[in-house]
Structure 1
């Protein structure tokens, strides 16, 4: 080991100096020098390894030479103050702090941490407990050791929830899923209970307003603006009014049948008929129509509200701006031109227990509780062929098209009846809508920037506030700016909702078979197609990478 006298502090007491004569003390190794630095007086200094390596090389090179009699001088260690550093996440939502213990230099305390946080502009989401815990750990470190921890977290903005309309009364279509219980506890599937009627003053529907959301912040204290929830149009239809003490409640003003509308409800006058046949004639009524019996062959029933048929519809045409509900069966036949003799067309939903050889077209859901046979159904929403217990519901033959999925207990038949199913066919159109919304939002951003630029170019207010024409122009610009912001916010909410729908399109819009899918069923989910060659058990059928996928795990 080298003699301790070879190392001493510099005049400013900041560095360890090595004074060595190669011929006298060499050859040496790096370990020799590190042993000198391990002496009690120098053990807390930071070794300068590059200098140590260079010292060993020079000393050993000069050791056997005449020049080796000259004393060499090297600064092989130094004091270093404790260090503090920060790492900020790319989204500015998290800050970590690292503390490095001093090599004989100045240490760090809470005041130093606070000063450095101020210099780094880290001001929000700080955890005093985590900072103090890190300082406690820091105090136990050996020279040069490091400790680190997350000491600040931002708070993400919480977007507002969308407005919701909560209906407080039942509708005629819901009676199909609510058969009456007998006194002995059994269920009478033929008794669907009383017709749904309301009286003046009954609460029909309540709006839960959209919320504004809660703004967030990042660790720099910058505000993250929350997006408000999307509002819903809420209007009073015929026979209704808003409650005097609550504008979010809609009540009935007349007695009649409640009918759901896209933005609220209305109460219709009800035309009650026993049977619609040749003896009664066609029906075209501005309210809702209740037929306690049947609709006969060749008859046409049109309604501006709902159509409810307690009996059968046989080879007839029903058109409603509301829902169509048939308590028993919808029966038709195939004509010579291959068209179907019964047609049901609704702006709302279509519900029935049994349907055969009929054409059904609805903007809302189509619900068949027992059997849908050899028919052509089209809905912009979902086709459901199932009773309330999901034990019965056969979809056999014909063609079924449902934009937002098909659910049935059994699809096809053991006799290999050809059955065609189409769902989730609108992805291309939705993507086009998203693109158009994106372009519209960008154009409104540009329009808003142009208005702001015009406002910035205005002279000081005191120069024009007495000019009525100028004041009016400024008001117009400010109102246009406000309208642009409102429209842009609405379209941004629509954009986000549509984007989420597209991202989960094939996950949500699929075919669900609750018990069976038989052979010879043509499955179309988006662009994916497959004809079943065998029977499948309960499964979810979806589009996976443009191929039909059967998932039996559910």
Structure 2
């Protein structure tokens, strides 16, 4: 910080000027006088100047030319060698300040050769920053290279268990076990390495930049790289896995043991293989086939393909199995099963609700029994034993697939609603067209007419789509009327209710090796191989 006083040397003597503002004690002035080797000064004048602080120059000593000294230059260099600072003490007497060339020469003589700050050096030479340390040279900072980096576009961390609505417990069933990816989805991106730049100290010593390290994309099986090898994509639908540090996309998701709290619910875009059982309360959803080696308890299973359960379903009234294709298992006990194809069971269907668009076949063992509950099939039901000696209520329905009739009902309701809306639109359009013919349409009514015309086209499109679907359903219903039968190779017990194409038949006494089929408008009993 600048002192609030200064000494000046004139031809007739040495003068002291004390500014009115700023902190000052007499000892500060005396110290400067001694530093400048000025001894024959008038102490009384010095004390008065400090006390009065008028800002005027006061002669305090005679000038002695032998005390004139040149300016003093001092430098210091930082430990890392990147900065050089200078302190310039002005000359005493009539000697001039050093020129910029003098200052630079002084720096070079002391080993400073790099990064001169010309503007600061010129300022020093002009009298600025005197008696202060200022940076006069700055070396070149080293810029270390940046390593190549891999940016993952998918979350490789297993998703955290989700909190329940109460926010106090975590849902251990939803562990995010499966990371689904689709063909063409970007998995990772490589950021190339950035080379570094060497630095230089003010003394001219080079500082070597750290060389960057390159990395390769973690391409494993089921993945592919872009031509520039900077992007990694999934080559197929599947689930993401890491093997030996590489990303792999596997088309089959395999659970080595049971689906339970250690695994959580599973939802996968492709086929799923469960080597153990599926425990109660858990769900497995597969975008392809679904295989279970063990037992399915009160769980929810669904798949877009076929479902194969090696042991069986012990549903306790809670299990729900849905497959777009066939369902195959050893037994079904107290479960709801829906199949877009056939249901094939080797041992028994017990007290369950089973629906198949194709056939329900319970054969492959001596038992082959359907007992209790309701079994529905679009084509036929085949089993070894139907019902039980105890007369357990058992219902078998064949003919039109029930889900088809439900879809037909929904379409009928939708068409009724859409056609009612179409009627309203046509009525309003007719009224507006009459106004148009009489040139009575204002801007508001004309805008309404445009909106109604657009709505009419939209309704026509929706109605057309539903009518085409309805025609397809009607054709399928008509073709299914020619099929539909129930075949029992062993015994059909008393009390069984057989429904074919909407007609019911109650079995009044045990029958063996029989078929139930529609003939001449009624259900009749025929031989098994009919």
> TM range, normalised to the smaller chain?
0.3 to 0.5
* TM-score for the superposition, normalised by structure 2: 0.42
- Give the structure-1-normalised TM-score: 0.40
Larger Rg: 2
